[in-house]
Structure 1
Amino acid sequence: MAAFTSKDVARVAGVSQSTVSYVMTGKRPISERTRRRVLDAMEQLTYEPHAGARALAGRRTRVVGLVVRFGIGGDTFGLLPFIETITSSARAHDHDVLLVTADEGSAGLRRLAGRALCDAIIMMDIEEQDERVPVAAGLSVPVVLIGVPADPAGLHCVDLDFEAAARMAVDELAGAGHDEIVVMGYPASSMERGLNFVGRVLRSARRQARVRGLPLTVIEPVERGQEAAAVDQLLARWTNKHQRLGVLVPHSDAIVPLLNALRKRDVVPGRDISLIGLSTDREAEQSDPPYTNVSGEPRDVSRRAMETLFWLLDPSSGVERPAIDLVAPRLTRRTTVMPTPSN
């Protein structure tokens, strides 16, 4: 069974893609003859005439498809704030959420749209070079990405401004008079998959360190359960105890284990070295010690993504949404950055 796109439907029906969209949504009156041509094209391309006819007739499923990654290599715990916020936002709009695992790839997207299982799709776990993105761009339902791939293919993207977060952390350490910055990197699985935020953080941190005239080193990978080994690599670089060393930890799961490993080695962030984490404010506040953080608030990102999704379903419902909508981070100072030395 061949997968269809709205472009294919338009081509077979001999109409514009916008006409296909109007038939699907019912937002503009379309002649019965044109409507029938579009319905016939959908039936021909999908071989699922009943589901396609329901979708093209503008009958909403009142379901949002959510494509997420579970299992090995996926941060299931970290997904919960996203899923909870997306679900509550959907219910506020009288919609349900249908979870689809990302390991289905493009086939899962085609199944959602081709069988008229949902009105729109939220995709998470976006890779920089993501083979699903061009497929999603051709679907007959709106798709919103949580993440920014190298080529969004015209899709709306919502995410934390990871580039700004990295710049903010580097500027904080540079402003506090540090001599060198070390970034404790991501697990190998995240780097190998090319998750979009990994490259965005590391490239931005390196650029800003060059701007500030500071050497920057990345220790990678930092694997879960092996943070102590990463701390030993860090301390091996810190041969001059008069050197002010600043550490950036962009992978939130690693922050507490790294702090514990430093404590066991009698290294105190805020006294001996400095540490800034990229995490939620709640994680930073509840840590022992509470650490300086640049906020990465998944609930803010999820709310903005759902606002974009429902605007795409009903453009008259609010102000036009930007194609790439980045949530601004903020830095909160706590106890883990050394004070600026007095002259």
Structure 2
Amino acid sequence: MARDERSPDKRNGRSTPTSRDVAARAGVAQSTVSAVMSGKRAVSAETRARVERAMRDLQYQPNAGARTLRTAKTNVVALIVHLGPSADAAESVPYIDTIIDRARENDYEVVLSTVREGPEGIARLAGRSICDAFVLMDIQPDDDRIPAAHDLGLPVVLVGRPEDPRGLDVVDFNTRRSAELLVDELAITGHRHIAVLGEPADGHDHFRFVLDFYDAARARADLHGIDLTVVPRASDGWDGVVACADQLLAHRDDRLGLITRAPRVTEWLVRLLYDRHLVPGVDISLAAFCTDGTALSYPRPITNVSPRPQAVSNLAMELLFDRLEGAEGPPRLEMVEPRGLVRRATTALFFE
């Protein structure tokens, strides 16, 4: 879709008003302004009048590209998710599968982009006029894709919280509360030390939910008066876990509990414990932030808090279809809460 942003008016030194300005003045989403101009979805008479009045007040004139906005729906949603070499596909697949299922239930198809692209990738998909809406995953705090997504004039839902969502709808999971539940489990079962297997030492993982997880774990351990260390992996992959094993297991003989944050890392840690002849739930504890399916896939089922990927994705699609059907109102921030912790075989009970 062509953008209707225009260059500053050099004749009078003022910027020409944009659809964003119209949306702000009318108190509606930018996609509603686009709908009024294109007629691609129904807008109430009262809202249409408000938008048209704002256009007149601002002397807004859409450019030629905006006048040719398509009116035919494609019934396609673009899903942009990063599955690079260091990504844990086991984390992303449940989200992707749920989004595709929900789209098909509503007679939509999904175009999936798994390459980490900046604003250019969003602009390219939008420019082909093949999508009615976008879902963006792997949102970083200062994500350079968000301004481009905002300017599309299409419904967009972000899965993950940026510092500034620019008026877009956001769905996120409360990883802070998840970390607190994992630390609480080890505290109430008599552990003296907690080691959290962290991100690669040379990594550049700036996702807010990752930072929230570690920050909350440290704060909760301080509250309980328990020693907690976040141990960075020496590098990504199995060798990076082996390289930090001695630091991770330093207190193995003094009521040590381990916490992991991702399915693949949990798998590596289980392997490490068996290599070191340590039985999780007997010699040492292991509590993971992973789905119930992952937790139950091991011979000794793992104590866990689930990130509830289906709930997060279902809510994101609910918001998206609300906007596609003409729902108005301010941008929404929806947080999915953990259901709680499930104690399984890997919790050792170190009571006095």
Pair in the same fold by TM > 0.5: yes
Structure-2 change in CA distance of 1:14 and 1:244 (3 Å): closer
- Indicate the residue corresponding to 1:211 in structure 2: 223
CA RMSD of aligned residues (A): 3.4
The question of 1:100 aligning with 2:113 is answered: yes
Question: TM-score with structure 2 length normalisation?
Answer: 0.81
Percent identity at matched positions?
A: 35
CA deviation after TM superposition for structure 1 residue 233, in Å = 2.4
Match of 1:228 among 237, 242, 250: 242
Instruction: Give the 3-state SS of the residue equivalent to 1:97 in structure 2.
Output: strand
- Indicate the residue corresponding to 1:341 in structure 2: 351
- Indicate the residue corresponding to 2:334 in structure 1: 324
The question of 1:199 aligning with 2:200 is answered: no
Q: In structure 2, give the amino acid aligned to 1:23.
A: M
CA deviation after TM superposition for structure 1 residue 7, in Å = 12
CA deviation after TM superposition for structure 1 residue 260, in Å = 1.6
Mapping 1:1-343, distance limit 5 Å: 4=4, 11=17, 16-17=22-23, 18=28, 19-24=33-38, 25-29=41-45, 41-44=62-65, 52-54=68-70, 57=71, 59-188=72-201, 191-221=203-233, 223-226=236-239, 227-235=241-249, 237-238=250-251, 241=253, 243-315=254-326, 322-342=332-352
Question: TM-score with structure 1 length normalisation?
Answer: 0.83
Instruction: Give the 3-state SS of the residue equivalent to 1:61 in structure 2.
Output: coil
* 1:82-104 Cα deviation digits (max 9, x unpaired): 22111110011111111224422
- Aligned partners of 2:301 and 2:210: how far apart in 1? 24
Are the equivalent residues in 2 in contact too, given 1:238–1:245 (CA < 8 A)?
Answer: yes
Instruction: Give the 3-state SS of the residue equivalent to 2:230 in structure 1.
Output: strand
- Aligned partners of 2:330 and 2:164: how far apart in 1? 21
Structure 2 unaligned spans of 5+: 9-14
CA deviation after TM superposition for structure 1 residue 173, in Å = 0.9
Structure with the higher fraction of residues in helix conformation: 1
CA deviation after TM superposition for structure 1 residue 263, in Å = 1.2
CA deviation after TM superposition for structure 1 residue 336, in Å = 0.9
* 1:296-324 Cα deviation digits (max 9, x unpaired): 2322211111111111222559x999423
Are the equivalent residues in 1 in contact too, given 2:2–2:127 (CA < 8 A)?
Answer: no
Are the equivalent residues in 2 in contact too, given 1:308–1:321 (CA < 8 A)?
Answer: no
Q: In structure 1, give the amino acid aligned to 2:275.
A: K
Structure-2 change in CA distance of 1:258 and 1:303 (3 Å): same
Structure-2 change in CA distance of 1:158 and 1:12 (3 Å): closer
Q: Paired residues, what number?
A: 327
